[in-house]
Amino acid sequence: MSVAQYQEILSNLKAGQYAPVYFLQGEETYFIDQIVDYIEEHAVEESMKGFNQVIVYGKDADIPTIINHAKGFPMMSDRKVVIIKEAQELAGFDKELGEKYFTNYLENPQPSTILVFAYKYKSLDKRKKLSKLFVKHAVVMSSAKMYDNQLPTWIEGYVKDKGKKIDQKALFLITENIGNNLTRISNEIDKMLINISGVDLITSDHVYKNIGISKEYNVFELQKALSYRNVMKANEIIHYFKSDPKSNPLIPIIANIFAFYNKILLIHHSKNKSDQYLASLLGVHPFFVKEYIMAAKNYPLSKVIDNIRYIKIADMKSKGIDYPPQSEGEIMKELVFTLLH
């Protein structure tokens, strides 16, 4: 799914253009929730929701009852809304029962009903008849997880919609420390904006103070220490991580370190070493390119290749694959030692 598809659906909703059926599916739940929330809040007047809005959860519902709700007429209103949240838990959804009921309804939907399926964390098999039926007769949105290199643009757009700007270091801190969980990112930004309501530009200081990221000990600073092969600083940071593993889980840290050395590998293989080209190649703002160039100077190609192998071993250890059990702190300490020496 492109963000443009989500924006088009939301734009149509805001213009009052509702479709009879929405099927919202995929791993990225943020876009699904945003559309469901908008329909739930705006499609039916508040005073009429008790009569004309039905919200059920998949595990507590059954298909015949849902279809009966959808076929019903609105009371003293132009529309009726039926929302199935966690629709992936609806028994028989992609079986013969679901296919039978949904085929009949999708081919002849109730025009005054807005039927919404929030089918989260996975998608229907495109090869199956039911998936093809929804594609033919409904508005279907397939919401995949956003790639890491798409996050900065999305965050800048989100902040802009709030009437604010964000500097590059703040942007980097959010993407590197929160990851590609859009729901968490949006929640953290919203909470931060409440505390800095009179500020137009979000800086790294605002992020440190409001999103619970240590100013000295975070993934950004660890990457910087690795870039300069600063052994003392790197060890200070991993000691801090070890003291608070809940706030600094190992697997995302390993993923960030892997992405860092992968970028260094790209620099080594690139014939064009200009800042602008490398920024595009690495998917980072030109502001950060010099740090990656410095890292490439500090790590010859052979060491980068070795380090990527060490990172993959640490990743397997963190997941309990093929290696004896170790604490997260010990895995991190061992990894950083091998990266730097």
In 3D space, the residue among 110, 44, 38 whose CA is nearest the CA of residue 78 turns out to be: 44
Count of beta carbons in the 10 Å neighbourhood of residue 197: 7
* pLDDT at residue 163, as a whole number: 94
Residues, the chain, total?
341
Q: Which domains are present in the chain?
A: 3-142 (3.40.50.300), 148-210 (1.10.8.60), 219-340 (1.20.272.10)
The angle at the Cα of 181, spanning 180 to 187, to the nearest 5 degrees, equals: 130
Put residue 42 in one of left, alpha, beta given phi > 0 → left and psi -120 to 50 → alpha. Answer: alpha
Strand 80-85 relative to strand 53-57, pairing: parallel
Helix (H, G, I), strand (E, B) or coil at 140: strand
The angle at the Cα of 139, spanning 137 to 143, to the nearest 5 degrees, equals: 135
In 3D space, the residue among 205, 157, 200, 206 whose CA is nearest the CA of residue 182 turns out to be: 157
Cβ–Cβ < 8 Å for 65, 71: no
Helix (H, G, I), strand (E, B) or coil at 53: strand
Structure tokens at 325: 């059990």
Count of beta carbons in the 10 Å neighbourhood of residue 76: 9
Cβ–Cβ < 8 Å for 277, 240: no
Residue 127 CB burial class (10 angstroms; 0-12, 13-18, ≥19): exposed
Cβ–Cβ < 8 Å for 156, 166: yes
List per-residue pLDDT tens for the chain, 341 residues long. Answer: 568 899 999 999 999 999 999 999 999 999 999 999 999 999 999 999 999 999 999 999 999 999 999 999 999 999 999 999 999 999 988 788 888 999 999 999 999 999 999 999 999 999 999 999 999 999 999 999 888 778 888 999 999 999 999 998 899 889 888 878 899 999 999 999 999 988 999 999 999 999 888 888 998 899 999 999 999 999 999 999 999 888 888 998 999 999 999 999 999 999 999 999 998 899 887 878 999 999 999 999 999 999 999 999 999 999 888 888 899 999 999 999 999 99
Task: Map tokens 């990225």 to a residue.
Answer: 28
Structure tokens at 39: 């329909």
What pTM value is reported for the model? 0.77
